[in-house]
Amino acid sequence: MAASANPQQQSLSSDDFFSGILIALGIIALIWFFGRDAVMLLWKGFKIAELWALIHLSSNPDIVQNGHLLLRDVEGEPFTKITWKQANFINGWIDACYNIRIGRFQFSPWMLFLNFLPMVVASLVWSKGKNLRQTFRKPWDLAVYMAREYPWMLPVIRQRSSILARKFVSSKGYFDSLMNRQQQSDWPIHPLNILIDNKIIDRNGNILPDQMDTWVQKQLGPKAGQTGFSRPESAALFQAFVSKEPARLLKAYAARPSALKKMSGLNESARKKYQEYRKRHAYEITILLAALADARKNGILPPSWFIFLKYINRPFWYALHGLKLPRPHAEGLPAIIQYEMERHDGRPVEQPQSQWVIKGLQLSIDETDWKKSKAWRSYVNQG
């Protein structure tokens, strides 16, 4: 049985209907009483300009003389008292002045212009849109356009364009091709896949501390050396973070990969700051995290500005990406935990904090029924 309509809703609908009618009647009344005056006001201004142009441009003495008379009448008559008959007479006289006679035919160039004006405007709009489509027909055309304002996206375009370019190169089967593309993907890895791929978890579901220590050490990367960073991208990134204009340097890194090598040597100011950070941090990545945190105190510095690092050093990228996030990605978790421990102690901490990484990854996979997942069942069946 259908439910009856709510009387209150029916009343509201009726009120809305009558309100709409009243608004429509009000608009019609405004047009009736004031619409004519508005039209005449615009018409008067336009015709004064048109008569003035005719008087000064025409070589016909009759047009000049009659134009002066009509101009005086239009200027002296209030727009509220101009009748439609007067307006039509002046319009007809002006059209007659524009008319050109060719044999038995007579036409007005002005009216032709007004008739063709919409088509001209439409063609310009169409050609503008067509040019835009031509500009972005190829991926690299879009990249060139974006390089002016959004150069940080160029590394993403380069990476994904290269993946798509290799899509049909090999003669492998369909499923082999899919697996190959998955390996080339730049998406974050699920915590369970990290544990399985690195054999950190046994087939009973227990995380192995020794294997975790090895993986954590790998994610942390090299310890801070006495003179600087061991890799050029780390040195260039640090130099950008401690500079007065980090955005300018990061734009250069994204647009031109060669700029990373040019900035791989720390300048005098950056070396001094490196030594200051080295007093409180034991690893290169924790120094970068500290430098990024300090740089963000002076302005916006989002991870997208240095996304190029993702395709060079994934652990460092996910660590910097996850700084101050409530749920950082698992690949960057070891470095973030190490950095927070050093902040808490106020000194360098060389011992990897694997116990906290184990707890974090365990909490992450326990949020789902991971033992029923396809990845886990496949891992167990392999044994």
- In this model, does residue 375 exceed pLDDT 50? yes
pLDDT digits (tens, 9 = 90+) for 28-48: 777 777 777 788 888 888 888
Residues 258-316: pLDDT tens digits? 888 888 889 999 999 999 999 999 999 999 999 999 999 998 899 989 999 999 999 99
pLDDT value at position 208? 95
Q: What is the pLDDT, as a whole number, of residue 1?
A: 41
Residue whose token pair is 């439910």: 3
CB 187 within 8 A of CB 330: no
CA–CA dist 70, 5 (Å, integer): 66
Q: How far is CA 330 from the centre of its chain?
A: 26
Over residues 56-65, mean pLDDT: 80
CA dist 130 and 127 (Å) reads 5
Element (H, E) at 296: none
pLDDT score of 135? 58
Non-local (6+) Cβ contacts of 356 within 8 A are 337, 341
Q: Which of 177-186, 214-223, 251-260 has the lowest mean pLDDT?
A: 177-186
Provide DSSP, 143-188: HHHHTTT-GGGHHHHHHHHHHHHTTTTS---HHHHHHHHHHH--SP
Who's near 376: CB < 8 A, 6+ residues apart? 192, 196, 370
What does pTM read for this prediction? 0.61
Find the mean pLDDT for residues 13-17.
Answer: 64
* 130-146 pLDDT, tens digit each: 555 555 666 666 667 77
Residues in the chain: 383
